[in-house]
Amino acid sequence: MDRPRLLILDLDGTLVDSLRDIAEATNECLDLLALPTRPLSDFRFLVGEGFPALGRRAVDESHQHLVPRLVDLARARYRTRFLRHTVPFPGVREMVASLRTAGIRLGVVSNKPHDLTTRIVNAFWPGAVFDAVQGYLREEWRKPNPHHALEMCRTLDVPPPDSWFIGDTATDILTGLRAGMRAVGVSWGFRPRSELEQAGAHTVVDTPAALAALAGCRAAR
């Protein structure tokens, strides 16, 4: 592969492991609504497309009328605890440092609300380590719509073919493909390698160090 000029990364499941915070906030609200809670492992397949999609998936068909209320409650509850357990995946800090040192521009595009996306990125990577950070603003721009990815390319003056989109779900892979970027899946996140391959990922890497190497640099130690 040609060395990328820009890497756009997903946040949840790619840069940070936020599953427990999302699961606990959602389960607290399911319990409040007298709905069955879900085991942590279920949330690997519930997250990835924002709270409305999570709510629809977490509630059975007979209680879909409660989804809007659940979404409102879970969003509010999550805001009170979004950094309680969330941490970068092992090796990700070193990977980001290596990519930055190599002069590769870095961005984040997430389906998490924009303010929370920026707060999490700044908590772990202060000082403008990332050139651009973009979270959810409008439903029609939610991934896999490539809107934010293409806007980031325009803002940073990097053509999509010179960019990679990195993520742990089929949603991320489709975003990259629709943007005309190289779509790279990471298997250390929330979804299995098979999902990424079936979505059409150009390649799938198993570790942050492998991603750094693929981009033409070594992860810092």
208, containing H or E segment: helix 208-214
Q: What is the DSSP letter of 153?
A: H
Tell me the per-residue pLDDT of 9-37, one tens digit each, with 9 for 90 and over: 999 999 999 999 999 999 999 999 999 99
- State how far the Cα of 112 lies from the Cα of 133, in Å rounded to an integer: 11
By the 8 A CB rule, do 73 and 29 touch?
yes
CA–CA distances in Å: residue 68 to residues 11, 42, 178: 24, 20, 29
Cβ burial of 15 (10 Å; 0-12, 13-18, 19+) is buried
List, in order, residues 6 or more apart from 68 with CB less than 8 Å away. Answer: 55
**Cα dihedral value 164, 167, 170, 172, nearest 10:** -60
Q: What are phi and psi of 108, to 5 degrees?
A: -130, 130
pLDDT in tens, the chain (221 residues): 688 999 999 999 999 999 999 999 999 999 999 999 999 999 999 998 888 889 999 998 889 999 999 999 999 999 999 999 999 999 999 999 999 999 999 999 999 999 999 999 999 999 889 999 999 999 899 999 999 999 999 999 999 999 999 999 999 999 999 999 999 999 999 999 999 999 999 999 999 999 999 999 865 55
Sign of CA dihedral 219, 85, 11, 53: positive
